[in-house]
Amino acid sequence: MLTKRIVPCLDIKDGRTVKGVNFVDLRDAGDPVTLAKQYAELGADELVFLDITATKEKRRTLHDMVLKVAEQVNIPFTVGGGISSVEDVDDLLHCGADKVSINSAAVKRPELINELSAKFGSQCVVVAIDAKQIEGEWFVHLAGGSIPTNIKLFDWAKEVEQRGAGEILFTSMNHDGTKAGFANKALAKLSELVNIPIIASGGAGTMQHFADTFKEGKADAALAASVFHFGEIAIRDLKEVLKNQDIPVRL
């Protein structure tokens, strides 16, 4: 059985790690390079690095910081934010990223998923989907959650798999930063619809929330930020709790 992955997320704005609630009210959480090194040493399975304002500010991801982070970690490292071409991905992989996460650019030009998968392999392509539940329906949002669309989450998830995505990183905007638990019903439905790994994001507040998203949400990995950044949950302790609930993890 494949082990479940614990993935700290570094949301970067102006060169600092930040964290908010429902995608707003950001507060400083520290230096991303220092945090990345700590997480690699403390047992994280992977890292995700998101330059959260790159798309809105129409600029490329911070390449020098990607280089610095890659020098400090020995675990898989996914980078996202402002990526819109094969050239962007080529640059980031040369800087030390293992995978890339695309979001707004994929929605605007879905062929990008096909191009990246063909050039670099599907294992390199993570499609991030930020979605909000509105009157019972989940709708995709762009540009760090600031632009709503009429695209439905589950339709889009099936399409990105068909186009060659290797993983889906699903963030529930309703749950983000609330520490009330992950969107497990939506996650379980996603895992039924597609055959690629699903990374759960948005809502982690307790160790049991992670256990619940692996059991009820059928997630393959669970991503969190503030509970790790502010020392509320230690990754090794979390993995012991998961192991004691018969959830396979790498210790």
Tens digits of residue pLDDT in 165-198: 999 999 999 998 789 999 999 999 999 999 999 9
* Residue 179 maps to a domain: yes
* Residue 120 maps to a domain: yes
Q: Catalytic residue among 130, 176, 212, 220, which?
A: 130
* Residue 61 maps to a domain: yes
* Residue 249 maps to a domain: no
Domains held by the chain: number: 1
pLDDT tens-digit readout, 83-137:
999 999 999 999 999 999 999 999 999 999 999 999 999 999 999 999 999 999 9
CATH code of 133's domain: 3.20.20.70
Residue 130 is a catalytic residue:
yes
Q: Catalytic residue among 11, 45, 51, 88, which?
A: 11
Task: List all residues 6 or more positions away from 94 whose beta carbon is below 8 Å from its beta carbon.
Answer: none
Domain containing residue 63: 5-244
Q: Report pTM.
A: 0.91
* Residue 150 maps to a domain: yes
Task: List all residues 6 or more positions away from 37 whose beta carbon is below 8 Å from its beta carbon.
Answer: 72, 73
CA triple 101-66-225, angle to 5 deg: 60
Backbone torsion region of residue 246, taken as left when φ is above 0, otherwise alpha when ψ lies between -120 and 50, otherwise beta:
left
Choice between 141 and 178, residue whose per-residue pLDDT is larger = 141
Residue 31 is a catalytic residue:
no
* Residue 250 maps to a domain: no
pLDDT at 16: 65
pLDDT tens-digit readout, 22-81:
444 445 556 788 888 999 999 999 999 887 565 445 445 578 888 988 998 999 999 998
